[in-house]
Structure 1
Amino acid sequence: MDVIPAIDLLEEKCVRLVQGDYQRAQIFNDNPVEVAKQWVEQGASRLHVVDLDGAKLGKPVNTKAIEAIVQAVPVPVQVGGGLRSRSGVTQLLTLGVDRVIIGTAAVEDPSLVEQLCTEFPGKIVVGIDARQGWVATHGWLETSEIAA
């Protein structure tokens, strides 16, 4: 079994959302690289980074922090949050991200996901967030009519 620790980024800081509420985000560290290194020191073989700002806006936002994490740790880094276009995916893969997580786009534009999987084999993961039995999208801010 692989345990993949997650680092949630909001305004380039490590946060924990209280019940998915961006207004109640709790900052627990303002240095994402430090947190990433701590996870690797504790044995993480991969890191999962969530760009919460990107999830809200629909495009990568915390790219400086993501790039710094990728450069600082010797393990693969996967990133989700706001990846709804080919350009966003390409931007993160160019930074050295190992895999990207597609959520909202998988619901709204399945053909994009198919194209991305063809263009970037092994680099695309579909992630489905669920709230009360329904697929949540747009960084947990909306709920679709698709059963989870």
Structure 2
Amino acid sequence: MSFALWPAIDLKGGKCVRLLHGDMEQSTTYADNPAAQAWKFRDVGFGHLHVVDLDGAFAGKPENADAVEAILYETDAKVQLGGGIRDLATVERWLSLGVTRVILGTAAVKDPDFVHAALKSFPGRIVLGIDAKDGFVATDGWGEKSTLAAKDVIARYDRDAIAAIVYTDISRDGALTGANVSATQELASAVGIPVLASGGVAALLDLELLAQHQSEGVCGAILGRSLYEGTINPLEALALERS
């Protein structure tokens, strides 16, 4: 299993931002033109992009569709998209427009019938977004905390149809405090599905530590503030991806 890096483009009001701990009131804008930012990531060598419609995650429907479509037009990178995807028609639309795979987060907790249907209709193209807050899964743009543990949510579904899990430690997200390597590795080992680490990645060492657990199912990491603020050198990170 390869180890892939996914630069993050989080969309709020049509701009590329990063949040601190998932708080929409604590956002930093890094680019007014998300499509241009996508091109920059692709130009430096990244072949994957992690795109999230933050407004959509709270609204329960796509809110930054124009920005997403511009990203798809601008780059040939493999794009995984999340945020506000709550029905099959939306899943089908994004996949038909060129999104490689879609991320279902809130729906995985609140609408299992839809997620079962999506997995049946599009096996291998559905990612489950598992966002943990104090050990429990959070939903609705992280605004609500459920009483479910990550592995309990994942256990509801056909693991053979799931492309991957994006596991985010909300307490670390956007804070450059280091990846939660142990929790990511433990989840990957427990569920037997490739897991992407998200939240807190701050330095090349985080990536090196995560990559040590490839055999246990850790398949990569999402890079946000670390790329935008230069705490990780893109070329050094890409060298690790290709090793």
Using structure 2 for the length normalisation, give the TM-score: 0.59
- Paired position in structure 2 for 1:45: 47
CA RMSD of aligned residues (A): 1.1
- Paired position in structure 2 for 1:17: 19
Which of the pair has more CA radius of gyration? Answer: 2
Divergent runs of 4+, >4 A: none
Question: Could you tell me how far apart the structure 2 residues matched to 1:52 and 1:125 are?
Answer: 17
Q: Give the secondary structure class of the aligned counterpart of 2:6.
A: coil
Residue 131 of structure 2 is aligned to residue 129 of structure 1: yes
Question: Higher helix fraction: Structure 1 or Structure 2?
Answer: 2
Aligned pairs (5 A) from 1:1-148: 1-148=3-150
Deviations 1:96-121, CA, capped at 9 Å, x for gaps: 21110000101111121111111122
Give how far 1:34 is off.
1.1
Q: Which amino acid aligns with 1:115?
A: A
| Structure 2 unmatched ranges of 5 or more | 151-243
Question: Could you tell me how far apart the structure 1 residues matched to 2:53 and 2:88 are?
Answer: 16
| Structure 1 unmatched ranges of 5 or more | none
Number of aligned residue pairs: 148
Contact between 2:53 and 2:63, CA under 8 Å: does it hold in 1?
yes
Question: Could you tell me how far apart the structure 2 residues matched to 1:33 and 1:57 are?
Answer: 22
Question: Could you tell me how far apart the structure 1 residues matched to 2:118 and 2:23 are?
Answer: 30
Contact between 1:63 and 1:92, CA under 8 Å: does it hold in 2?
no
Using structure 1 for the length normalisation, give the TM-score: 0.95
Q: Give the secondary structure class of the aligned counterpart of 1:47.
A: strand
Q: Which amino acid aligns with 2:47?
A: S
Q: Which amino acid aligns with 1:80?
A: G
The structure showing larger relative contact order (alpha-carbon pairs under 8 Å, at least 6 residues apart) is 2
